[in-house]
Amino acid sequence: MPDEPKSNDSNPGNPDSDEDDWSTYASAGYAYSVVDTDEATEIVEPSEDEWFDGDDFEFQGSVINWDAPPCPAPLGIEHLIRIGSCDHCLQRLAGRRTAAQGAAGGAEIRSEARARNSELESLDKPDLCPLCEDLFDDVENIVIRIIDQTGEVDHSSIQLGIHMPKDLVEEEDRIRTRHGSPGSQPMKSAFVDAIQEVLLTHVNEVQFVKEKPDLMILIDGLTLRVSVDVRPVFLFGRYLKLERGIPQTRWPCRACRGRGDGCESCSETGLQYLDSVQDLIGEPLRIALDAEDTSFHGMGREDIDVRCLGRGRPFVMEIKRPQRRRTDLEEIQKAINLKAKDRVEINSLRWSDRAEVRRVKETRSEKSYTIRFRVEEMPEEDFVIESILGLSGVKLAQETPKRVSHRRAAKTRYRTVNSVSDVFVEGDEAQFTLQCEAGTYVKELVHSDEGRTIPSISSVLGGLDCEVLWLDVQEIHSE
């Protein structure tokens, strides 16, 4: 069977910094250098020595007191004003209580400082705040972009992430730790707080979380690009496969590999088999949650020609990029079972999470199978029944079967047959049920795979050719 189709989720944490981004936002006033473009003005980061000789601030026309004490000392605040700190950063670093928060609080601090020292009034303002490069001016703009992209998407929690150029973060950290009040909030978290605060004035009932968000929103502090990652929804359930010939997961067409619009051999469906357990269950869910795609995680899988009965096989369905995150599970389970009647049936449907995907995929359970096989000439009935029952409790040695040897390493596995029951013979056919350890190759246990499985039904019947007619997973003994 082919591997599950690869997820085509893009990685929003790593937006392309192509030229388009730079030119689109060039008007935002960010003085960053762009490598490989003609328009770019290269900025050489000053070394430590250059930084502290005061050259950068010569335009101020006054000598900056680099030995100024840190905030909240008045001289420290004065220093921040002299180097051109914006109101946001002033409020953040000053360590003073202000009536207003944010920029308004910074304006209070600035006017107090000017009242103390009128020289501060006449200072030229640099183009950009040396701490944040005027990033805080873009908060409103970013919030509008966020709302544009999330307005239609059902969500109750958001995790905000921000990417900022390393040199800006380092520069800010250097100024803050030297001149800011002890415990001043770093720029990144202050910026995230500012965005959350403004966002909350536009939307209601959204929680900002540090893990498992409905929406992961990443902001590029350089390009102001906002990328929204709608996190998947997970559902746990158990499925029964009542009809043979249905693969567990979507199986792309062998000829065209499901690319593009398919091909002639798959009637333009891109699929080798029109139906799969994944789609029979997943499509109604995908449609109900208005999602892009699904990913199916089963507790193991049965071959396409094997039914799966009993309480069914546990699975977790991952619904990707859902526009809605809630639906009536009882209703949808009924609808799925009605539509896939006599083919696939589900039960125990409930909401789940990514952690359960791991649990389901890692669980190895004992299984019971019912198997029917045929021989050319059936031996004495009592002998057949006794021989098959005799396999109960036997440890099998199984070499990697021929049918899977192209994708599994050759080795010998030892698996125990825990019990054998319900053996009967009908003409040249026989049927039995067995319970065995997880990972037993059951078809091979019957026909021996040319002696690769020892012992086998074939060997205990005296080396007869045993042809497996059908196989059912009777029960998966989990939970």
- How many other C-beta atoms can be found within 10 angstroms of the C-beta atom of residue 366? 17
Reply yes or no: is the peptide bond before residue 247 cis, omega within 30 of 0. no
* Alpha carbons 373 and 478: distance in angstroms, whole number: 27
* Alpha carbons 453 and 40: distance in angstroms, whole number: 69
Residue type for 325, please?
R
In the sheet with 215-220, reading across from the earlier edge strand, the strands are 207-208, 157-163, 215-220, 226-230
- The token duo for 65 is 């007191």
Nearer to Zn ion by C-beta: 133 or 229? 133
Task: Tell me whether residue 55 is exposed, middle or buried, using C-beta atoms within 10 angstroms of its C-beta: 0 to 12, 13 to 18, 19 or more.
Answer: exposed
- Distance of closest approach, residue 446 Cβ to Zn ion, in angstroms: 34
Binding residues vs Zn ion (CB under 5 A)? 86, 89, 129, 131-132, 253, 255-256, 262-263, 266
- Distance of closest approach, residue 269 Cβ to Zn ion, in angstroms: 7
Angle, helices 87-94 vs 187-202, to 10°: value is 120
User: For 230-264, b where at least 16 C-beta lie within 10 A, e where not — what string?
Assistant: bbbbbbbbbbbbbeeebbbbbbbbeebebeeebbe
- Distance of closest approach, residue 103 Cβ to Zn ion, in angstroms: 9
Nearer to Zn ion by C-beta: 86 or 113? 86
* Alpha carbons 189 and 447: distance in angstroms, whole number: 65
Nearer to Zn ion by C-beta: 181 or 398? 181
Nearer to Zn ion by C-beta: 80 or 446? 80
Nearer to Zn ion by C-beta: 136 or 373? 136
Residue type for 231, please?
R
- Distance of closest approach, residue 62 Cβ to Zn ion, in angstroms: 21
Long-range interactions of 118-124: CB distance < 8 A, separation 24+: 119/62, 120/78, 120/81, 120/82, 123/60, 123/62, 123/81, 123/82, 124/59, 124/60, 124/61
* Alpha carbons 85 and 179: distance in angstroms, whole number: 11
Nearer to Zn ion by C-beta: 89 or 384? 89
Counting every residue written for the chain, the total comes to 479
Angle, helices 74-82 vs 102-116, to 10°: value is 110
* Alpha carbons 249 and 269: distance in angstroms, whole number: 15
The one catalytic residue among 303, 305, 353, 449:
303
- Distance of closest approach, residue 428 Cβ to Zn ion, in angstroms: 40
- Distance of closest approach, residue 179 Cβ to Zn ion, in angstroms: 13
137 is catalytic: no
Radius of gyration of the chain (CA): 34
Nearer to Zn ion by C-beta: 254 or 354? 254
- Distance of closest approach, residue 230 Cβ to Zn ion, in angstroms: 30
Q: Among all residues, which ones are annotated catalytic?
A: 303
